[in-house]
Every structure is written in structure tokens, then in C-alpha cells.
Structure 1
Amino acid sequence: MRKILSIILCTLISLNCLIAQKPSDPLAHTYSIVARDPDTGEIGVAVQSHWFSVGTAVSWAEAGVGAVATQSFTNVSFGPKGLSLMKSGLNPQKALDILLANDEGKDYRQVALINEKGEVATHTGEKCIDFASHLNGENFSVQANMMLNNTVVSAMEKAWKINEGVPLAKRMLIVLEAAQNQGGDIRGKQSAALLVVAPKSSDAPWEDRLVDLRVDDHENPLQELGRLLDVHEAYQYMNKGDVHVEKGEMKEAMQAYNSAMKIFPDNLEMQYWTAITLANDDKIEQAVHMLQSIYTKDSNWRELTKRLPKVGLLSVNESELSLLLK
């Protein structure tokens, strides 16, 4: 018995040495997709796992370069290194070959790369925990390990192909949902992430990340990720409306704000700024009607209204202001 235990102990020690996991490297057994929208050129990566904050380790992307998903016994460095190699001009396969060349734990890794042209390369190590596999093609790669069923990856591929024309962020979320519907991670679900970048880099890198959402710990991470994606879309309309307001384009601002409210009709923030825009456009009666409802639910919005004229965000006379504060 002691001999058997000794052999097991030596095997475990050898395994730990082989995969060379640092304490900070997560064991992100998971399923993911890297993809490019052929219509817009947007590039993205999406992932779900039974692991805390999976998006901080697995998903990487850079505008005008590509995306990387690094998972299983995760070598987190594959994310930034993979992007750097592709940025230098290497195609995904050559970049992947370099990443794996000196990696003693490559048999335990799963990694996928896609570049700005939609070229892909994927590796599933032979010692990734079953069920583990990948499928890829032009503009996409889906990969999974430690899955409950061996049907997960094929369901992801099908979901990608039959949803052509759907915006990239939503399309990738649908792919993740298809995986979960097949059983997903054998351990369950905990976190998810969605990252989409622009097709080309710009002089304003803070604008190059088009969608950057994470659910770090949740009983239904994909459901929550979908809700956050809707919130993101609504606030994108709000941001557009704000830009129109700055330019004095009230008609266009109202169109943007109305689009936001259609997504989240009960959101007081969206209702409030729509009402303020109406007031600035001399539609005082409509603004008053909306503000009265908002004040009833939260009187702090009335106090905010008092402060707006000072900074030029509400351009009304004293009598109109009194009506708005009614």
C-alpha cells in the first residue's frame, strides 16, 4: 500500500511540474468562442466556466489585431503573447506554434487564436480533460474542455453558423447558450465574459473596446451576461443622445433616447435625461409629465433638476423651471 501511495504522490508531483502552473494561473476548464464579424470586421471572444472571474484569464483581444482564448490548465501569458505575435505580422498558426514550442504543459492546454482577417488556429492538448475538442473555420473557432457531453462543441459550431447576420456580441452569446443547453461544463456554471473590439485600432484606444462585459460570480452567468448586453446597448443609445444634445441636435437626441427607453422602459436615468432634453427643446408640458412620475419614485431627481441650470444642462426660464420642479 505504501508503495502504491508513493507512486501516486510522485505522479502528482510530476504532473504539477509538467504543467508549470504558477499560483496565479487559474485552472479555467471551460468553453469559449473567438470570432470575427465578416460584415463589420469586429473581433471578439466569449467564454463561460465554473470558475471565478473567468474573463480575467481566458479572454484577450486587441483592435486591428485579433483575439485569443487560453484555457484548460491555463497559460495566461498566451493571451498577451499571442496578440503580440499576431501584431508583429504572424498568422494565427505560426503564432500558436511559437506559443507551444517551449511549453512543457502544452498537452494540458487549450488555446484558440483569430486575427483581423478571420484566420484561425486552435490547439486542444491530448491530456485536456474529457470531453474536450474544438471546431473551427473561417472567422470562428469554438473550443471546450471538461464538458458534460461530447455534443457541446458541435452545438456551438451549429449555433454560430445558423445565426449569420446577428451582431457579433449577441451571436457569440447565442453560441455560449447553445453550449450550456447541451450540458456545458460538467461542474456547472459560475462566470462568463464577452469582449468585442473594433476592426482597426485608432488614436483613441479607449474607444476601441466596443463591448467589455464580465459576470464574475453568478448562479446564471449567461442570463446575467445577456441582461448586461441589453443594458450596454441601451446606454450606447444614451451616449449617442448626449452627443446630439451637445451639438444642439434635439430631434436626433430624442430618437436616441427613445431607442434606449424601448430597451429599458423602467430605467429612471433614461427617462430623466429624455425629459430634460424635452425641456431644452421647449416641450415643457411633456417634460413636466415625465418628471412628475420620476420624482414620485425618487425625489433626488428633483434636487438634481435644480442644479442643472448652473452648469448649462437645462436652459429654461424661472417660470419654466418652477413647472419642472412642481
Structure 2
Amino acid sequence: MRATILILITILFSLSGVSQQVYNKKQPFAHTFSIVARDTITGEMGVAVQSHWFSVGSLVTWGKAGVGVVATQSFVNPSFGPRGLRLLENGLTPKMAVETLLELDEGRDVRQLAILDVHGNVEAYTGKNCIVAAGHIVGAQFSVQANLMDKNTVWLAMAEAFKKSTGSLAERMLAAMEAAQNEGGDIRGKQSAAILVVKAKSTGNSWEDKAVDLRVEDSENPLKEMRRLLTIHTAYDFMNKGDLAVEVGDNKLAKEHYMKAQELNPDNLEMKYWYAVTLANNGELNEAKAIFKNIFKQNNKWKELTPRLIKPKLLTISEEQLQEILKL
């Protein structure tokens, strides 16, 4: 095994161009609880975290479509994120990647680390000197890990919540984090949270490879705010689907998507506006006018925008019908 680890270290050196990682007592604290997981239906992989530390997502959560995800925490070594992903890309298992990273790290006893790959293989580690309560549980295609917790039952609560939850991967991971907080969470309190979900296969375009990328950098209740943001994110996902349907001329499908978006985010004027535009394009002008009238009453700038949609053919109605809308 020692010989194998030395070979892996050589590989990592060649990939990263870095020397052995030396433990630095000034490295940031990211005492926290987190989850890495894979959706067995979509193949998406995700990592989610909450901590009493500013901008925890910038340190803890790492992922790459078609490769895997990493959570690096406790006295955090941020390099474990990109380096762990490189090791997975080069064919190492999560277990081999964790062993390789720790072999290089003089601070291994205060680290906590979890790595999951595109196949759902997962490995987690909790250093012997992580601040109690600290521990982890590896389950079927997921791992939960926590340190500096109020109780030693936090990570068990996370695992049970994730296994029992339904919905998207992001929703299930959020449920696990909410269970952790309900169990006591970080003994210091709460401040920031993050959720990152990457696709099962890379599109070749990094900007298309993240299904969810949300952060709450500083909040009195970061998970409550994350729940709100995730709901809005889902609503805008329906809006995007509606826009795509409009592009291909399927206004009926666009209407369905826009309606779902409104149901999730009922106070958003823009969502209502594009729904009204779709109704008008579908020939349902009276219903569209009622919505337009309400929107224009709240913000007249939407009326000013409306005639500008004619040239790019986003609004495909007659001049007479347009004037009916503008008179509202």
C-alpha cells in the first residue's frame, strides 16, 4: 500500500506542480457540516454545506461535471478541492484520492474530507484531532460529515434525512442540512451556506455544467435563505424552459412552464409578464390583457418595454392588438 501511495503522490505532483502541503495554523477554519451525494436517476452530483463562518462555499464546496465533488473542511485545506478532482479525472477512486491527499498533508489530523465520483463511489475522512463533536457516515452514494457540532448525533440525523427525502438532489441535500441544524448544528451557531450540483456528463462548456450553484455568504438564518433561493432557482429554471419553448415556437409548452414558475414565485412581476406575453402569442388576448393591466399598474416600465418585443418577434401580435395592450 505504501508503494501505491508513493506512486499516487508522484502523479499528483505532476498534475499540480506543487510541493508537499505543509500544515499552516493560519489556514481558515471551516468547522461545519456538509454532504456529498449523487442522484441515482439523473447522475447529478452535489455538495452542500453550512457553517458559522463567512462565505463557507468558497472554501468547502468543489465539483466538476462528469468527474465528482469534494467537501474539504475543519481546519480547511482548500487545495484538496481542485487536486482531488484532478486525481479523479486521472482514474483514481475516491479512496485512493483521499489517501493521496492526506499522505501529502502534515495537517491531516485536523482535516475532514469527503470525495464522491461520477459512479457514486465515495470516501470520507475525519482527522483524530478534529474538534468534537466530529464524525462522518458513508452511505449508498452519499456521505455526511461534521465537526465542532453541538451533539454527536448531527451527522446521523443528516444521513437519515437524506435517505428519507424526495425531490431533486439539491432539495434532498438541503433537507439533510436542515436536519443537522434541527439536531443542534454547529455549536457556535450559523452564518453561511452553499449548494453546488454538477451534471453527470460535461457539456464541454463549463457555464452549462452546473445545475445549481447557490451561496448565502452571511445571514442570521442561512438555511432558511437557502431554501428561499432554491425555490426561486427552480422557478427560474421553469422560466428558462419556457424561453426555450418560445424559441422553437411551442407557445403551449411555454405557457405551462411559465405557469409553474409563477406558482413557485407568485410575487415576481417579470414571470407574470412573460406569461402574459405567451398568452397573447397563443391568441388568448383577453386573459393576457388582464395580467398586463395589473403589471402596468404596479410598474409602468413593463408597458414601455412591450412594443420593443415586436421586432425580435417575441411578441407576435397585430398592431391593433398591441395598441389594445398599450391603452391599458
The TM-score, its normalising length taken from structure 2, stands at 0.91
* 1:311 aligned counterpart, secondary structure: coil
Alpha-carbon deviation of 1:312? 2.4
Determine if contact 1:19/1:73 at 8 Å carries over to the other structure: no
Determine if contact 2:114/2:122 at 8 Å carries over to the other structure: yes
Unmatched 5+ stretches in structure 1: 1-16
Task: Provide, for residues 264-285 of structure 1, a one-character-per-residue CA deviation record: whole Å limited to 9, x for no partner.
Answer: 1221111000111111222221
- The whole-number CA distance in structure 1 between the counterparts of 2:25 and 2:295 is 53
Q: Which residue of 2 aligns with 1:220?
A: 221
Q: Which residue of 1 aligns with 2:8?
A: none
Q: 2:33 aligns with which of 26, 31, 34?
A: 31
Q: Does 1:104 align with 2:106?
A: yes
- The whole-number CA distance in structure 1 between the counterparts of 2:53 and 2:179 is 19
Query: Percent identity at matched positions?
Result: 55
Determine if contact 1:48/1:222 at 8 Å carries over to the other structure: yes
* 2:261 aligned counterpart, secondary structure: helix
Alpha-carbon deviation of 1:225? 0.5
- The whole-number CA distance in structure 2 between the counterparts of 1:225 and 1:301 is 29
Q: Does 1:160 align with 2:162?
A: yes
- The whole-number CA distance in structure 2 between the counterparts of 1:38 and 1:252 is 28
Determine if contact 1:144/1:152 at 8 Å carries over to the other structure: yes
Determine if contact 1:19/1:108 at 8 Å carries over to the other structure: no
Q: 2:122 aligns with which of 120, 123, 129?
A: 120
Q: Which residue of 2 aligns with 1:3?
A: none
In structure 2, give the amino acid aligned to 1:181: N
Which deviates further from its counterpart, 51-60 or 314-323? 314-323
Task: Provide, for residues 216-240 of structure 1, a one-character-per-residue CA deviation record: whole Å limited to 9, x for no partner.
Answer: 0111100110111110111111111
* 2:115 aligned counterpart, secondary structure: strand
Task: Provide, for residues 18-55 of structure 1, a one-character-per-residue CA deviation record: whole Å limited to 9, x for no partner.
Answer: 73145xx4210000000011122110000000001100
Q: Does 1:240 align with 2:244?
A: no
- The whole-number CA distance in structure 2 between the counterparts of 1:196 and 1:45 is 7
Q: Which residue of 2 aligns with 1:317?
A: 318
In structure 2, give the amino acid aligned to 1:229: L
Q: Which residue of 1 aligns with 2:143?
A: 141
Determine if contact 2:124/2:136 at 8 Å carries over to the other structure: yes
Q: Which residue of 1 aligns with 2:64?
A: 62
Q: Which residue of 2 aligns with 1:284?
A: 285
* 2:187 aligned counterpart, secondary structure: coil
Q: Which residue of 2 aligns with 1:265?
A: 266
Alpha-carbon deviation of 1:306? 2.6
Q: Does 1:295 align with 2:296?
A: yes
Q: Which residue of 2 aligns with 1:205?
A: 206
Unmatched 5+ stretches in structure 2: 1-20
* 2:311 aligned counterpart, secondary structure: helix
Q: Which residue of 2 aligns with 1:76?
A: 78
Q: Which residue of 2 aligns with 1:19?
A: 23
Alpha-carbon deviation of 1:205? 2.8
RMSD of aligned alpha carbons: 1.4
Task: Provide, for residues 56-101 of structure 1, a one-character-per-residue CA deviation record: whole Å limited to 9, x for no partner.
Answer: 1100011111110000000000000001101100000100111010
- The whole-number CA distance in structure 1 between the counterparts of 2:143 and 2:189 is 22
Determine if contact 2:112/2:127 at 8 Å carries over to the other structure: yes
In structure 2, give the amino acid aligned to 1:100: L
Q: Which residue of 1 aligns with 2:87?
A: 85
Q: Which residue of 1 aligns with 2:308?
A: 307
Q: Which residue of 1 aligns with 2:10?
A: none
Alpha-carbon deviation of 1:157? 1.2
- The whole-number CA distance in structure 2 between the counterparts of 1:111 and 1:166 is 26
Determine if contact 2:22/2:105 at 8 Å carries over to the other structure: no
In structure 2, give the amino acid aligned to 1:206: W
* 2:50 aligned counterpart, secondary structure: strand
